[in-house]
Amino acid sequence: MDQNDFISSSPNKEIESGKVTWQAPSNIALVKYWGKKEEQIPANPSISFTLNTSKTTTTLEFEKRESSAEGFRFELYFEGKKKEDFKPKIKTFLERIEKYVPFLKDYSLIIRTENSFPHSSGIASSASGMSALALCIMSLEKELNPEMTEEYFNRKASFLARLGSGSACRSIEGGLVVWGNHKKTESSSDLYGVQYKKPVHEVFYNFQDTILLVDKGSKQVSSSVGHNLMHGHPFADERFAQAHNNLNALQEIFEQGDLNGFIEVVEREALTLHAMMMSSKPYFILMKPNTLEIINKIWKFRENTGLPVCFTLDAGANVHVLYPKESKEKILEFIKNELVAYCENEQYLCDHVGKGAVKLN
Ligand code: PMV
């Protein structure tokens, strides 16, 4: 499929008004996307676990307008209150996707959105937020063109979400999702995320992700600035090749249920992501002292107990602690006793692998 396959055909039906609600989860990358080309095309493939509990619920109300001449017309409510400062980001998103969903301008829109996690918890809401909105827009397109297949619906939702925030394209479907062309992953694409369909050992079905909120402040360097610093980065080519290799390695690891192999790939990915930041021009550091304290505690606990717990990081100071459900009791006890003290206000979130976005009405 190429981009042109996502330009909607003219509506088959007349829809005057309506309302749709989607709930979309966040995701946590195991192989990281860091570096992009024009139009949010990733420089390397990535794979993530779709989460369950950290999610955004978005309702889109639409009503036919007299004329679509003066651009998009929309109102935005966040947690029940009008949010003018979020509007520019949404406006940019709508303008970016306009070519693919030209029908959208024929409607006045009201977008109501809320997150399951506390605002300014340091958890990025862009993945769940952009995917929830993209899904609402796709539901309207499906009302106008009801013959659309489920596969096309999901792919286009992911395609649109990607144009809002790259990693958002991995928040449509559940389990493991791959985004970016990868030789050994059938139907993988730079344009949208696809569910990972190769054999996966059951130990990975119910993986847990406890998110330790180390620093809830806003980041000094946004991820879009960070992605751009991979242009001309001295280690870029090596890094992009490494991501392909790590995805290859994970395929065998998933099939075998090789937890040691998993830990090695996932932690190396997290540290490489931050190593890229620390060696870009200009360089920067997003980890905090407590991020390192937690990593060292995890390593020590793993060495002492042999339990399969590891960490990963996003573009921030928070730590995602990953482990299989079988070891939940002991690892959660360790987290509460030894790691929570390093979190801001002792805040953390318990999440696990989920089934993907759901439509609520
Ligand atoms: O989707 P963005 O542009 O916010 O980038 C996210 C990048 C990482 O979270 C660091 C890695 C990833 O693959 O999710």
- pLDDT band for 220, please (50, 70, 90 cuts): confident
Tell me the fold of 3-199: Ribosomal Protein S5; domain 2 (3.30.230)
CA angle (223, 161, 33) in 5-degree steps? 40
Percent of the chain with pLDDT over 90: 91
Q: How confident is the model at residue 122 (pLDDT cuts 50, 70, 90)?
A: low
340 CA distance to ligand 1 centroid (A)? Answer: 25
Class level of CATH domain 206-352: alpha beta
Query: Which residue from 32, 41, 93, 250 has its CB within 8 A of the most atoms of ligand 1, so it is best to mutate?
Result: 32
Give the Å distance between the CA of 15 and the centre of ligand 1. Answer: 36
> What is the C-alpha separation between 168 and 134, in angstroms, rounded?
9
pLDDT, position 120 = 63
What's the CA dihedral at 301, 306, 312, 317 to 10 degrees? Answer: 0
165 C-alpha to center of ligand 1: Å?
A: 8
Domain with CATH 3.30.230.10 in the chain: 3-199
Residue 126 Cα to ligand 1 midpoint, Å, equals: 10
Q: What pLDDT, on the 0 to 100 scale, is given for residue 230?
A: 98
Residues of the chain with CATH 3.30.70.890: 206-352
Cα 120 to ligand 1 centre (Å): 17
**What pTM, to 2 d.p., does this model score?**
0.97
C-alpha distances (whole Å) from 352 to each of 54, 110, 178, 320, 361 are 9, 31, 18, 11, 24
Within 6 A (CB) of ligand 1 lie 29, 32-34, 46, 126, 165-167, 223-224, 227, 273, 314-315
Q: Report the atom number in ligand 1 closest to the C-alpha of 165.
A: 1
Q: How many CB atoms lie within 10 A of CB 51?
A: 25
pLDDT tens readout for residues 265-323: 999 999 999 999 999 999 999 999 999 999 999 999 999 999 999 999 999 999 999 99
Q: What tens digit of pLDDT does each residue of 174-190 get?
A: 999 999 999 999 999 99
